[in-house]
């Protein structure tokens, strides 16, 4: 049975697989936001994923 969570950007309901892992990045099909999964046991939350800038070895 899929896990359901709400997109923090648009409020759409997102279905996640049972084996979704903490830190995994998913995309909201409704608004296209990149979301990071925060999972503690059976509790699952989504937060907007931080964008990482390229370092280019500097």
* Cβ atoms of 8 and 25 closer than 8 Å: no
pTM beyond 0.85: the answer is no
CA 35, CA 47: separation in Å to the nearest integer? 5
Establish if 28 belongs to a structural domain: yes
* Cβ atoms of 44 and 3 closer than 8 Å: yes
Q: What's the CATH number where 8 sits?
A: 2.20.28.160
Q: Percentage of the chain with pLDDT > 90?
A: 67
Establish if 55 belongs to a structural domain: no
pLDDT by residue (tens digit) across 19-48?
A: 899 999 999 999 999 999 999 888 899 999
pLDDT of residue 51: 75
Q: Is the pLDDT of residue 11 over 90?
A: yes
Establish if 38 belongs to a structural domain: yes
pLDDT of residue 41: 80
Q: For the chain, how many structural domains are there in total?
A: 1
């Amino acid at each position: 049975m899929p896990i359901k969570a709400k997109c923090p950007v648009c409020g759409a309901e997102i279905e996640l697989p049972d084996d979704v892992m903490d830190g995994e990045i998913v995309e909201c099909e409704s608004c296209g936001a990149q979301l990071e999964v925060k999972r503690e046991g059976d509790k699952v939350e989504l937060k907007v994923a931080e964008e990482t800038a390229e370092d280019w070895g500097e």
